[in-house]
């Protein structure tokens, strides 16, 4: 039975992981307690669960209404008709740090891999059509790649600051700022700190989405 948003936020990362499929990609970072502020990006059908430790400090949201203006000679104002509301766009960033609390891998390579998977198209069976390069050893990665060459990037639920939304990534920026600063990361100079900026389109009306219905988040 799928987890409800309230049960997800109230549990630990280990509890979330126990409900996911073999394709589950759990954030490898610190294990938060139920009292911590945290956010979650997930799609159970695709085995995606990315838990970040703190809510974003700054969030930008942009919305526009699109109107059509028809100019008629001699009139004081143009004829005005509503076309549609524009796509709701959201931006925020999160800090991923292997130093903040004990990190089971000692680097954030798995974390960055999990996040990059949000940009990879998946087929109707929920399999990724490509697999990004891995960062070093350890962690978990999808073991099966789709034979299809066409897919759709994941539609996910985004939970933060008491809000529950659905959307997809339009741009992802990763700025790695530290490498090889823990014992586990030194041999390969793996990343240990990064700022990740997400650009999203938020979907309020799922009926308007032309996508694989089989992989939409519940």
Q: Sketch the domain layout of the chain as residue ranges.
A: 5-215
**Cβ-contact 66, 135 below 8 angstroms:** no
Higher pLDDT, 212 or 181: 181
pLDDT in tens, 6-46: 444 444 333 333 333 323 333 333 334 444 567 889 998 88
Q: b vs e for 138-152, b when ≥16 Cβ sit within 10 Å of the residue's Cβ?
A: bbbebeeebeeeebb
Quick check: 151 and 129 in contact, CB under 8 A? yes
Q: What are 61-113's pLDDT values in tens digits?
A: 999 999 999 999 999 999 999 999 999 999 999 888 888 777 888 999 888 98
Measure the CA–CA gap between 18 and 31, rounded to whole angstroms: 14
What is the rounded average pLDDT for all residues in the chain? 81
Q: How many CA atoms lie within 13 A of 180 on its CB side?
A: 4
Predicted local confidence at residue 24, as pLDDT: 33
Name beta bridge partners: 62: 89
The percent of the chain in helix, strand and coil, each rounded to the nearest 5, is: 15, 35, 50
**pLDDT band for position 139 (cuts 50, 70, 90):** low
Q: Helices marked H in 49-178 — which ranges?
A: 109-116
Do strands 25-26 and 48-52 pair parallel, antiparallel, or not at all (unpaired)? Answer: parallel
């Amino acid at each position: 039975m799928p987890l409800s948003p309230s049960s997800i936020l109230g549990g630990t990362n280990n509890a979330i992981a126990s409900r996911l499929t073999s394709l589950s990609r759990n954030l490898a970072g610190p294990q938060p307690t139920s009292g911590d502020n945290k956010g979650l990006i997930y799609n159970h059908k695709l085995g995606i669960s990315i838990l970040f430790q703190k809510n974003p400090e700054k969030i930008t949201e942009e919305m526009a209404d699109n109107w059509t203006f028809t100019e008629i000679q001699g009139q004081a104002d143009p004829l005005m008709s509503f076309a549609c509301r524009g796509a709701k766009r959201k931006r925020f960033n999160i800090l991923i740090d292997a130093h903040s609390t004990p990190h089971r891998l000692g680097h954030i390579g798995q974390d960055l891999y999990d996040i990059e998977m949000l940009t990879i198209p998946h087929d109707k069976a929920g399999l990724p059509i490509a697999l990004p390069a891995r960062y070093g050893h350890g962690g978990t990665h999808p073991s099966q790649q789709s034979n299809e060459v066409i897919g759709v990037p994941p539609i996910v639920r985004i939970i933060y600051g008491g809000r529950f939304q659905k959307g997809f990534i339009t741009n992802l920026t990763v700025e790695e700022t530290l490498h090889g600063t823990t014992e586990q990361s030194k041999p390969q100079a793996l990343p240990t700190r990064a700022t990740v900026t997400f650009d999203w389109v938020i979907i309020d009306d799922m009926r308007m989405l032309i996508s694989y219905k089989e992989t939409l988040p519940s």
